[in-house]
Amino acid sequence: MKKLSLILSFLVLMSCGNDDTVNRCNFLLNVGVEVTLNLNLPEFSELMFTSTVRFIPNQGNAGVYVINVGNGMFRAYDAADPNIIPEPCSFLQLDGVNVSSSCGEGNEYSLFTGQSTGDPLPCTLREYRTALSGSNLRIFN
């Protein structure tokens, strides 16, 4: 019985590892996002159509991109590149339904999925929750 407990103790100790990897997905701050868009207003009415994107300033780390992905579903993402330390070039520029940073890495993301359109990256876009109630679209975290 002592041998069994000694072997089990040894196995438990050996299975403990040291994870020295740095979580690179912590570049963006956890800031509050709370905005409601009235889709009946002219500035947001185009969001009723699939693939339409709108930028909402003064929310999140660098603003928020909102896209209609179809079937009454919306997605909202922070406009800062999550794979780059925040700096002016980490603001994501809109190009159709994709966004990209102007930093040297050339990271590009799809607003439909939040994932990189090129080489796999450690972090996807920071997504915020959305809720459609009538003609009001609420974006929050």
User: What φ, ψ does residue 72 adopt, rounded to 5°?
Assistant: 70, 15
Q: Which domains does the chain have, with CATH numbers?
A: 27-140 (2.102.10.10)
pLDDT 10s digits, 54-107: 999 999 999 999 999 999 999 999 999 999 999 999 999 999 999 999 988 789
Strand 136-140 to 53-56 pairing: unpaired
Alpha-helix residue ranges (DSSP H) falling in the chain: 2-15
C-alpha to C-alpha distances, 103 to 26, 59, 91, 110, nearest whole angstrom: 18, 22, 9, 17
**Whole-structure pTM value:** 0.82
pLDDT 10s digits, 106-140: 899 999 999 999 999 999 999 999 999 999 999 99
